[in-house]
């Protein structure tokens, strides 16, 4: 297994190199990976899930399927496959199997439970541009919600800074495994994201402090000014590079380093943006400075520009049920994600919430049911992609997780029932082929240190 891991790691690096050919890979003097992932899956024996209905994450639904897992990877999926000798059998009859659920918008660990100022570390709300901060330095791995999310089938999450700032900082992608350190949860090889926020939040936070941005036009001026600085930073570095790296390298700047990473295509833009008109402006800003927006988050009005977002290949991470807290979310509808999907776009159901993260499967079910009621034709096989393959794409890890295709990491959920139903519970959850949740076995329900010895813990949540 370890050798396979290394192999995939190399494949991933190669892919990034291709994407960034012609640009300097890293800032001079910047280590490639100063806070490297230390997560290594434990060894696990080969496994066969037999007899369940499988939603593969590629769009297919296979009845009476067999899923073979070996060396922490998906080996094969198909109807009634023979089980090779030596594979532990898991009886899936009457149950359902999906890829591990992936939350493309989470604040677990940076806004942990209990909510106290002592560890509410998600918004560095002191300056509209804090591209220099990294969410992983705020994550508290003992947030009890990681375990609750595991019980909801969530195997990977993108942890983002909040939306107080125009540039909130870097996101980090985690595997949802128990760990004392954040590095021990980091998804090996996952690219970083940059959180950008549109609209009401930044202008309210900084307008309220009597400084810019106080308006939406102030927001956009703030983005453009920062990208001009970032482009200049890239040019200086490239010049130094092209000049044979003679003399002192340009001084590193953490803030510009992250923005430069976006311009070089290494860091993926994750853009909090509700209104359709603002999304269209952000697409123009991205074009002006030559980068891509990977996903619009929350995006309650995405359905109004579904064909544009499909054409631009920008994912939409949204909810079925949340709307109306602010003017910019007043037009939220249940069918937002399905309409993106129907237009050929990349639709994602995300949580942004410590309760909803436990039920992303149900939220997808609500959107699917509403859409089919409205006359769209969304299959279960397609809808499961909103919480598996599509978030993986937005997070830049679609080559590793999100579907049950051979060679992918064996992040798998065994559900007690149709996963879109309220009655579906995650019976078991595997991450890289290793059992990390078992509803009927306390050995695989490991609670966080925080709740150990606290009152009222003598049950599985």
Site for other proteins in 88-147 (CB under 8 A): 113-115, 144-145
Tell me which of 4, 20, 127, 322 binds other proteins, using CB under 8 A. 322
CB atoms near residue 18 (< 10 Å): 9
CB of 418 to other proteins, least distance (A): 7
Tell me which of 30, 76, 425, 435 binds other proteins, using CB under 8 A. 425
Residues 6+ apart with CB under 8 A from 237: 24, 27, 28, 249, 250, 260
DSSP-derived letter for residue 426 is E
65/212 Cα distance (integer angstroms): 57
Number of residues that bind other proteins (CB under 8 A): 64
Closer residue to other proteins, CB minimum distance, 139 or 339: 339
Q: Rounded to the nearest 5°, which phi and psi values hold at 119? A: -135, 30
Q: Can residue 378 be called a binding residue for other proteins (CB under 8 A)? A: yes
146/132 Cα distance (integer angstroms): 26
Query: Which of 390, 407, 417 shows the shortest CA–CA distance to 7?
Result: 407
Site for other proteins in 380-399 (CB under 8 A): 382
Q: Can residue 37 be called a binding residue for other proteins (CB under 8 A)? A: no
CB 268 within 8 A of CB 193: yes
Kindly state the tokens that stand for 436.
């990390």
Closer residue to other proteins, CB minimum distance, 43 or 452: 452
Q: Can residue 330 be called a binding residue for other proteins (CB under 8 A)? A: yes
352/348 Cα distance (integer angstroms): 12
CB of 408 to other proteins, least distance (A): 18
Site for other proteins in 225-284 (CB under 8 A): none
CB of 291 to other proteins, least distance (A): 22
Closer residue to other proteins, CB minimum distance, 105 or 380: 380
Stretch of 212-220, 244-252, 405-413, 451-459 contacting other proteins, by CB under 8 A: 451-459
CB 320 within 8 A of CB 303: no
Q: Can residue 452 be called a binding residue for other proteins (CB under 8 A)? A: no
Which uninterrupted H or E stretch holds 222? helix 216-242
SS3 246: coil
CB 230 within 8 A of CB 262: yes
What Cα–Cα distance (Å) separates residue 353 from each residue in 22, 33, 145, 149, 415? 40, 29, 10, 10, 22
Tell me which of 106, 271, 362, 445 binds other proteins, using CB under 8 A. 362
CB of 8 to other proteins, least distance (A): 24
CB of 321 to other proteins, least distance (A): 5
Beta bridge partners of 315: 295
Stretch of 154-162, 179-187, 189-197, 323-331 contacting other proteins, by CB under 8 A: 323-331
Q: Can residue 379 be called a binding residue for other proteins (CB under 8 A)? A: yes
Stretch of 48-56, 158-166, 277-285, 325-333 contacting other proteins, by CB under 8 A: 325-333
188/222 Cα distance (integer angstroms): 33
Residues 6+ apart with CB under 8 A from 33: none
CB of 268 to other proteins, least distance (A): 19
Tell me which of 123, 173, 358, 436 binds other proteins, using CB under 8 A. 358
CB of 155 to other proteins, least distance (A): 19
Kindly state the tokens that stand for 25.
């890979």
105/61 Cα distance (integer angstroms): 26
Query: Which of 313, 305, 311, 395 shows the shortest CA–CA distance to 350?
Result: 395
Tell me which of 29, 36, 84, 344 binds other proteins, using CB under 8 A. 344
Site for other proteins in 197-216 (CB under 8 A): 200
Closer residue to other proteins, CB minimum distance, 304 or 446: 304
Tell me which of 418, 435, 444, 446 binds other proteins, using CB under 8 A. 418
| Interacting residue ranges for other proteins, rule: CB under 8 A | 59, 113-115, 144-145, 148, 200, 303-304, 306-307, 310, 321-327, 330-335, 339, 341-344, 346, 354-355, 358-359, 362, 365-366, 369-370, 373-379, 382, 418, 420-425, 450-451, 454-457, 459, 461
């Amino acid at each position: 297994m370890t050798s396979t891991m290394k192999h995939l790691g190399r494949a991933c690096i190669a892919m990034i190199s291709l994407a960034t050919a012609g640009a300097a890979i890293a800032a001079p003097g910047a280590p490639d990976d100063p806070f490297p992932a230390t997560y290594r899956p434990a060894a696990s024996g080969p496994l066969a899930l037999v007899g369940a209905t499988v939603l593969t994450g590629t769009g297919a639904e296979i009845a009476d399927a067999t899923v073979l897992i070996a060396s922490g990877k998906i080996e094969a999926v198909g109807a009634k496959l023979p089980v090779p000798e030596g594979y532990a059998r898991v009886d899936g009859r009457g149950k359902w199997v999906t890829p591990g659920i992936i939350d493309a918008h989470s604040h677990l660990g940076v806004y942990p439970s209990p909510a106290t100022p002592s560890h509410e570390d998600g918004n560095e709300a002191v300056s509209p541009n804090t591209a220099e901060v990294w969410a992983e330095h705020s994550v508290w791995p003992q947030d009890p919600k990681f375990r609750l999310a595991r019980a909801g089938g969530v195997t990977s999450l993108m942890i983002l800074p909040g939306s107080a700032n125009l540039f909130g900082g870097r996101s980090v992608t985690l595997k949802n495994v128990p760990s004392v350190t954040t590095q021990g949860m980091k998804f090996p090889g996952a690219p970083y994201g940059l959180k950008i926020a549109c609209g009401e939040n930044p202008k309210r936070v900084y307008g309220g402090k009597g400084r810019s941005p106080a308006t939406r036009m102030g927001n956009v001026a703030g983005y453009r000014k920062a990208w001009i600085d970032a482009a200049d930073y890239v040019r200086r570095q490239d010049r130094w590079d092209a000049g044979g790296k003679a003399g002192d390298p340009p001084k590193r700047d953490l803030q510009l380093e992250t923005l430069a990473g976006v311009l070089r295509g290494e860091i993926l833009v994750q853009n909090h943006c509700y209104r359709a008109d603002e999304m269209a402006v952000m697409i123009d800003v991205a074009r002006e400075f030559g980068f891509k927006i990977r996903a619009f988050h929350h995006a309650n009005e995405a359905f109004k520009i579904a064909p544009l977002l499909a054409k631009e290949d920008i994912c939409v991470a949204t909810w079925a049920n949340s709307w109306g807290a602010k003017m910019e979310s007043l037009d939220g509808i249940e069918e937002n994600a399905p309409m993106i999907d129907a237009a050929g776009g990349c639709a994602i159901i995300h949580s942004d919430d410590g309760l909803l993260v436990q039920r992303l499967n149900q939220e997808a079910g609500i959107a699917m049911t509403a859409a089919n009621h409205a006359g769209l034709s969304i299959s279960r096989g397609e809808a499961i992609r909103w919480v598996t393959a599509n978030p993986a794409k937005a997070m830049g890890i679609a080559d590793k997780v999100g579907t049950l295709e051979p060679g992918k990491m064996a992040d798998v959920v065994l559900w007690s029932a149709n996963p879109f139903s309220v009655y579906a519970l995650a019976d078991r959850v595997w991450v890289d082929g290793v059992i990390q949740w078992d509803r009927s076995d306390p050995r695989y329900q490991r609670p966080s240190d925080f709740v150990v010895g606290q009152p009222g813990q003598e049950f599985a949540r």
